[in-house]
Amino acid sequence: MTQQRTALISGSAGFIGYYLGQRLLADGFRVIGVDSLSDYYDPNLKRRRQANLLQNAGFSAVNEPIETPGLLADLFAEHRPDIVVHLAAQAGVRYSIDNPRSYLESNLVGTFELLEAARAHPPQHMLLASTSSAYGANTEMPYRETMKADHQMSFYAATKKATEAMAHSYAHLFDLPVTMFRFFTVYGPWGRPDMALFKFTRAMLAGEAIDVYNHGEMMRDFTYVEDLVEAIRRLIDAAPIRPESAEDIAEGDSLSPVAPWRVVNIGNSKPVQLGDMIAAIEDALGMEAKRNLMPMQPGDVPATWADAELLRALTGYVPETDIREGVRRFVAWYRDYYQV
Ligand SMILES: NC(=O)c1ccc[n+]([C@@H]2O[C@H](COP(=O)([O-])OP(=O)(O)OC[C@H]3O[C@@H](n4cnc5c(N)ncnc54)[C@H](O)[C@@H]3O)[C@@H](O)[C@H]2O)c1
């Protein structure tokens, strides 16, 4: 019999953490979930997700902020996780303009606490969430991990890019295998109330107009949450190995020449126009949206598009759920959950 592996997931009551927790429990992991249940959006939704995870005896929850000094170090000492997936963060591009300190604390101090804990009690593999926003002002598409990404346009993106560098230094110095994910607009049932799909669905059902930024001239590489989790699951078993020399790094691989560290896009590689996403909601709801055409929001980027070839090379998998199908599943969940 193989020994049961322990995974520590930060942000386990969040949208992605909830799905990943379920998946790892189903795969036989023992899961420690850390989440502050922050009030950035409705904490009841987070509590409901966590209550579902707690139905499984293999799951235990710690509801504290990760930046609490020593909290993660104590948890690592007690549970010695084999795998760590770091999803806890203050997310959201727009909120970061008025509330930068929250990003500093959760994203930078929180990630520092995690890295220190891992230094003391090294897991087999640490996987940390970064974002497609890290590509910032890059206009060459699709985005490849080997491209320079030096011009972040929001403090959110800047903190995420900084965590990539922080984790790289620990990977280099302490031989910690690290995979950084750059996620592309994740959506699906149990999704985030601050994101467009959720906001549009809520407004349309309330008979209100939806705010369409950049007059609808927006393109996003939408990634269905279960596809994303499949990619994460496969990447867990694809820990980077420090190369002997730079010549050993395959073409297109973002593997560091000096550390067991790489960054991997997780996206469909099929960008969708905002208008087509709205049309998918209209179809699923059987009603037409009233649109408020608005200018571009500060800090936002007009388009994202993942090159998913590195993900394919490492895992043999690329997300594929079609936006219409994914939106249908989200709308069905929303109506059931909110009884509207
Ligand atoms: N959803 C997306 O489209 C997307 C895209 C790119 C990157 N990401 C990143 O993926 C990760 C997960 O995103 P999500 O969509 O599930 O967001 P989410 O907000 O639903 O989940 C994050 C969870 O972390 C918790 N949290 C926040 N700050 C914390 C702190 N200081 N201590 C402990 N817990 C804390 C929150 O309570 C929340 O439950 C985040 O790091 C986010 O930046 C998400």
Q: What is the pLDDT of residues 158-216, one digit of tens each?
A: 999 999 999 999 999 999 999 999 999 999 999 999 999 999 999 999 999 999 999 99
Angle separating helix axes 43-54 and 15-26, nearest 10 degrees: 0
pLDDT at 230: 98
Structural domain count of the chain: 1
pLDDT at 185: 97
- Average confidence (pLDDT) over 220-242: 98
pLDDT at 225: 98
Q: Would residue 247 count as lying in a domain?
A: yes
Q: Would residue 152 count as lying in a domain?
A: yes
Q: Is the pLDDT of residue 1 over 80?
A: no
Q: Would residue 251 count as lying in a domain?
A: yes
- Average confidence (pLDDT) over 308-319: 98
pLDDT at 57: 98
Query: Both tokens of residue 294?
Result: 């608005």
Q: Would residue 238 count as lying in a domain?
A: yes
Q: Would residue 141 count as lying in a domain?
A: yes
Contact, 159 vs 130, CB < 8 A? no
Measured in Å, residue 248 CA sits from the centre of ligand 1 at: 34
Q: Is the CB of 196 under 6 A from ligand 1?
A: no
Looking at every residue in the chain, the average pLDDT score rounds to 97
Instruction: Give the structural domain span for 165.
Output: 6-184+225-266+306-320
Query: Both tokens of residue 142?
Result: 């699709």
Q: Which of 41, 95, 156, 334 is catalytic?
A: 156
Range list of H helices, the chain: 15-26, 43-54, 71-79, 95-98, 100-103, 110-120, 155-174, 196-205, 225-236, 274-285, 309-315, 323-338
**Would you give the DSSP letter of residue 286?**
T
Q: Is the CB of 110 under 6 A from ligand 1?
A: yes
Query: Both tokens of residue 52?
Result: 């579902």
Angle separating helix axes 15-26 and 225-236, nearest 10 degrees: 50
Q: How many CA within 13 A on the CB side of residue 224?
A: 18
- Average confidence (pLDDT) over 114-122: 98
Rounded CA separation 321/335 (Å): 21
Q: Is the pLDDT of residue 3 over 90?
A: no
Q: Is the CB of 183 under 6 A from ligand 1?
A: yes
**Would you give the DSSP letter of residue 89?**
-
Encode pLDDT of 240-297 as tens digits: 999 999 999 999 999 999 999 999 999 999 999 999 999 999 999 999 999 999 999 9
Query: Both tokens of residue 143?
Result: 């985005």
Looking at the CA of residue 110, tell me the nearest atom of ligand 1: 31
Q: Is the pLDDT of residue 79 over 70?
A: yes
Looking at residue 245, which CATH number applies to its domain? 3.40.50.720
Looking at the CA of residue 88, tell me the nearest atom of ligand 1: 24
Q: Would residue 336 count as lying in a domain?
A: no
Encode pLDDT of 13-58 as tens digits: 999 999 999 999 999 999 999 999 999 999 999 999 999 999 999 9
261-266 sheet: strands from edge to edge:
59-62, 30-34, 6-10, 83-86, 125-131, 178-183, 261-266
**What torsion, rounded to 10 degrees, do the Cα atoms 300, 191, 320, 52 define?**
150
Q: Would residue 290 count as lying in a domain?
A: no
Q: Would residue 170 count as lying in a domain?
A: yes
95 is catalytic: no
Q: Is the pLDDT of residue 156 over 90?
A: yes
Q: Is the CB of 6 under 6 A from ligand 1?
A: no
Rounded CA separation 6/22 (Å): 14
Taking CA atoms only, the protein residue closest to ligand 1 atom 20 is: 14
Contact, 221 vs 185, CB < 8 A? yes
